[in-house]
Amino acid sequence: MGQQSRLPSEHPHWWRDAAIYQVYPRSFADGDGDGTGDLAGVRARLPYLAELGVDAVWFNPWYPSPMADGGYDVADYRGVDPLFGTLDEAEKLIAEALGLGIRTVVDIVPNHVSDQHPWFRAALATSPGSPERELFHFRPGRGEGGELPPNDWVSEFGGCPWTRLPDGEWYLHLFATQQPDLNWAHPEVRSEHEEILRFWFDRGAAGVRIDSAALLAKDPALPDFVRGRDPHPFTDREELHDIYRSWRAIADEYPGERILVGEVWLPDAERFARYLRPDELHTAFNFDFLARPWEARALRESIDGTLALHAPVGAPTTWVLCNHDVTRTVTRYGRRDTRFDFAGKTFGTPTDLALGRRRARAAALLSLALPGAVYLYQGEELGLPEVEDLPLDRLQDPMHLRSGGTDPGRDGCRVPLPWSGDRPPYGFSQAPAEPWLPQPADWADLTVEAQSARADSMLTLYRTALRLRRTEVALRGDEFGWLPSASEVLAFRRGADFRCVVNFGPRPVPLEQEVLLASGPLTADRQLPTDTAVWLRVG
Ligand code: GLC
């Protein structure tokens, strides 16, 4: 068993089994006391991430942005929003993190820009038919006076994805009105993004996370949507693969394995795997696993499907339970319906948080024991619940705003982290400034400080599990095999001497081997109770 940790220089294929921590900069830590998280806050907390034992950090967008969609409306891809700091600080942050063995992955948003981006402002300043407008999807409307949108598509955030300008033309935005879609058939759009990739790789980024990666290419005719018609007018189109092959060639020019990570939400698993062919993206988020209910059969099916899909293309699997777009794990697992589905989000769903936390602990050991890379969203290691009682007038997410208030939106999983102390802002901010989203009054037990002191806390569980993930040789390789078990139990081995057992059923499961780590207490006679996972050493 090797005890040394994997420093960047020692692990060239770092991304194949990395633990990647997602920082939502607005809510991680506030260094300048204005109530919004920033790069100074992250730099001050790098030792926390090093101690947690993660290999890389993926940062949600830190670029200049009017924040109509939490920074996914980018006004300048080569800068840092003054709310978060400066480009110089971002460069320092990347270097300092690497000094602690942590690589940086930045978020690239190629499908759309902010309506404040110079390209879009220039397009608005010109007339219909101008070359500036060709970088986007401008069209005349339908109907006698052009008063109807050019087609019948629906925005990813609900409602019409077209907005009409005073000059009569409409522009396409698959997300919010403030996020005009780029025209990826235009060579300048392609070359600009290739330069943006180089810009961040030149500054030491070890990878890019590609936002909405399956949406960039559109049918140039922008036809009405016809259910089942292939190809889809704006999702998963063939042209995308050529784009990502050119990006891969750029990433491969750089030393140290710079990676492309795709946000590819596709129901068809085989279509998904095509993005992971050897000359395209390195990895993509496993949303199938994330969306599954807390049930042995469903999760086993997802694990099998994932392994079977990735093997032929040679890409490592990834395991994801949560991110900045979805309901936090302890809340989701504490409900009657434990699946994740954007369409199923409603206010006032009954939740048993103690049950959810118990399951989330077991899910952590399950996902951290599977072969491949794992993503961890800030606050997951603290077992934070979704904050469901934010005052309605504080909600900012366009998903909520565009739904007419029926969709709770995604603010509840973006509440600033609690670091210390017994009341808001819990050390998130050093100044009295109120955090940009209010924190609950009952988070004193969930702070990093409180959890560091407790052997049975979620944070201690994650720290221990991440340490073992580095030191247990069996957890590094690809070797994986199911072990015989009851249908309500998942049991698998990694290598010859490591096992993971998760009990989803009501009957306790006897354990024969040495327990390395358990997600919760065993029964008095050393059996594994319901909703509990355990890591075992054989021999
Ligand atoms: C991705 C991001 C999400 C954002 C959307 C539009 O899905 O994860 O937060 O709202 O793209 O950029």
The string of DSSP letters for 12-75 reads: TTGGGS-EEEEE-HHHH-BSSSSSS--HHHHHHTHHHHHHHT-SEEEEPP-SS---TTTT-S-S
Which ligand 1 atom lies nearest to the CA of residue 324? 9
- The pairing of strands 56-59 and 103-108 is parallel
Compute CA 515 distance to the chain's CA centroid, rounded to the nearest angstrom: 31
Predicted structure pTM score? 0.97
* Nearest atom in ligand 1 to 399's CA: 10
**Ligand 1 pocket mutation, candidates 26, 67, 69, criterion most atoms within 8 A of CB:** 69
What is the enclosing helix (H) or strand (E) of 485? none
Specify the pLDDT at position 432.
76
Residue 328: predicted pLDDT: 98
Nearest atom in ligand 1 to the alpha carbon of residue 73 is 12
Ligand 1 center–CA 184 separation, angstroms:
18
For residues 173 and 161, give the distance between their C-alpha atoms in angstroms, rounded to a whole number. Answer: 5
Q: Is the CB of 114 under 6 A from ligand 1?
A: no
Nearest CA owner, ligand 1 atom 2: 211
pLDDT at 295: 98
Contact (CB, 8 A) for 250 and 96? no
Which residue's CA is the closest to the ligand 1 atom numbered 9? 325
Q: Is residue 81 lining ligand 1, measured as CB closer than 6 Å? A: no
Instruction: Find out whether the beta carbon of 325 lies less than 6 Å from any atom of ligand 1.
Output: yes
Q: Is 138 in the pocket of ligand 1 (CB under 6 A)?
A: no
| Structure confidence at residue 10 (pLDDT) | 61
Tokens, residue 60: 């949600």
Q: Which atom of ligand 1 is nearest to the CA of 325?
A: 9
The radius of gyration of the chain from alpha carbons, rounded to an integer in Å, stands at 23
User: Which tokens in the block code for residue 22?
Assistant: 């997602």
The predicted structure's pLDDT at residue 1: 34
Which residue among 174, 211, 234 is best mutated to probe the pocket of ligand 1, counting the most ligand atoms within 8 A of its Cβ?
211
Q: Rounded to the nearest whole angstrom, what is the distance from the C-alpha of residue 478 to the centroid of ligand 1?
A: 31
| Residue 212, ligand 1, Cβ within 6 A | yes
Q: How remote is the CA of residue 148 from the centroid of ligand 1, in Å?
A: 27
Cβ of 69 less than 6 Å from ligand 1: yes
How do the pLDDT tens digits run along the chain, 539 residues long? Answer: 333 444 554 677 999 999 999 999 999 999 999 999 999 999 999 999 999 999 999 999 999 999 999 999 999 999 999 999 999 999 999 999 999 999 999 999 999 999 999 999 999 999 999 999 999 999 999 999 999 999 999 999 999 999 999 999 999 999 999 999 999 999 999 999 999 999 999 999 999 999 999 999 999 999 999 999 999 999 999 999 999 999 999 999 999 999 999 999 999 999 999 999 999 999 999 999 999 999 999 999 999 999 999 999 999 999 999 999 999 999 999 999 999 999 999 999 999 999 999 999 999 999 999 999 999 999 999 999 999 999 999 999 999 999 999 999 999 999 999 999 999 999 999 877 899 999 999 999 999 999 999 999 999 999 999 999 999 999 988 999 999 999 999 999 999 999 999 999 999 999 999 999 999 999 999 999 999 999 999 98
Ligand 1 contact via 211 beta carbon (within 6 Å): yes
What spacing in Å lies between the alpha carbon of 325 and ligand 1's midpoint? Answer: 7
Give the DSSP per-residue string, 74-130: -S-TTS--TTT--HHHHHHHHHHHHHTT-EEEEEE--SB--TTSHHHHHHHHS-TT-
Q: Which residues are catalytic?
A: 211, 263
Alpha carbon distance, N-terminus to C-terminus of the chain: 14
- Amino acid identity of 22? Q
Ligand 1 pocket check for 381: Cβ under 6 Å: no
What pLDDT is attached to residue 11? 75
Query: Is 321 strand, coil or helix?
Result: coil
For ligand 1, the distance from its centroid to the CA atom of residue 109, given in whole angstroms, is 8
Long-range contacts of 483-488 (CB under 8 A, 24+ apart): 485/509, 487/296, 487/297, 488/296
**At 172, which amino acid appears?**
L
Residue 58: CB within 6 Å of ligand 1? Answer: no
pLDDT value at residue 135: 99
Q: What's the confidence (pLDDT) of residue 6? A: 47
Instruction: Give, for ligand 1, the residue of 212, 285, 401 to mutate: max count of ligand atoms closer than 8 Å to Cβ.
Output: 212
Which atom in ligand 1 lies closest to the alpha carbon of residue 72? 12
Q: Which atom of ligand 1 is nearest to the CA of 410?
A: 9
Distance 377 CA to ligand 1 centre (A): 15
Look at ligand 1, atom 6, and give the residue with the nearest C-alpha.
72
CA of 383 to the centre of ligand 1 (A): 23
Contacts of 93 (CB under 8 A, 6+ apart): 39, 42, 43, 46, 104
For residues 28 and 381, give the distance between their C-alpha atoms in angstroms, rounded to a whole number.
13
177 CA → ligand 1 middle, Å: 14
